[in-house]
Amino acid sequence: MTADLSPALILVACGIIGLLLIPFGLPGLWVIVLGIVGYGWLTDFQTLSATFMVVIIVLAILGEVFEAWIGFRYAQRYGGSSRAGWGALVGGLIGAIVGVPIPIIGSVIGGFVGAFIGAALFEYSRARHAEGSVKAGWGAVLGRAIAAAGKMAIGIAMVVGSLFAAWR
C-alpha cells in the first residue's frame, strides 16, 4: 500500500518557495502558512493540532511586526525621527514593488534602495539636514537586512516545526 505523497509535497514545496521569497521582501511566511494549512486540510489535521496552527499563524504575524518595527528602530537608532521610520517602511514597500520587473534580485535591491531613499527623504523633510538624513537612510538599510534575517529565522522554524509535526 502506498501513501499519497501530495500533502507532503505541498508542505515541502511551500516551505522551500516561502523561504526563497523572504529575502525578496515578498510574503514568504504566508506561503509557508498556506502550505501548512493545505497539508493539514489534505490530511484531516491528523498530525497538526489547533495549538500548532495558532502558533504558526502567530509566528507569521510576529515576523511581519518584527520587520516593520526593526526598520523603525534602526532608522531612529541612526539619528532619524519616527518620520524616518515611516519613510523606511513606505520606501521599502514601494521599492520592492518597483523592483519586481527585474528578475530575481529586483525587489531585493528595490526594497533596500527604497528604504534608504524613503527614510532619508522623510527625515530631510523634517530636519533639513543632509548628513542626518543619510545616516537615517543607512539605518533603514541595516534594519531591512536584519529584518530579512529575522524573518528567515522565523520561516525556518515554521518549516522545521511543520515537518516534525507532519512526520510524527
Q: What is the band of 104 on the pLDDT scale with cuts at 50, 70, 90?
A: low
Residues 29, 19: contact at Cβ < 8 Å? no
DSSP state at residue 102: S
Alpha-carbon span 156 to 162, nearest angstrom: 10
Q: Would you kindly state where each structural domain of the chain is located, as residue ranges?
A: 6-166
Q: Kindly report, residue by residue over 130-154, the tens digit of the pLDDT.
A: 777 888 888 888 888 898 899 999 9
Alpha-carbon span 51 to 158, nearest angstrom: 14
pLDDT at 149: 92
pTM of the model: 0.79
Alpha-carbon span 12 to 74, nearest angstrom: 34
Q: What is the band of 11 on the pLDDT scale with cuts at 50, 70, 90?
A: very high
Rg (C-alpha) for the chain, rounded Å, is: 19
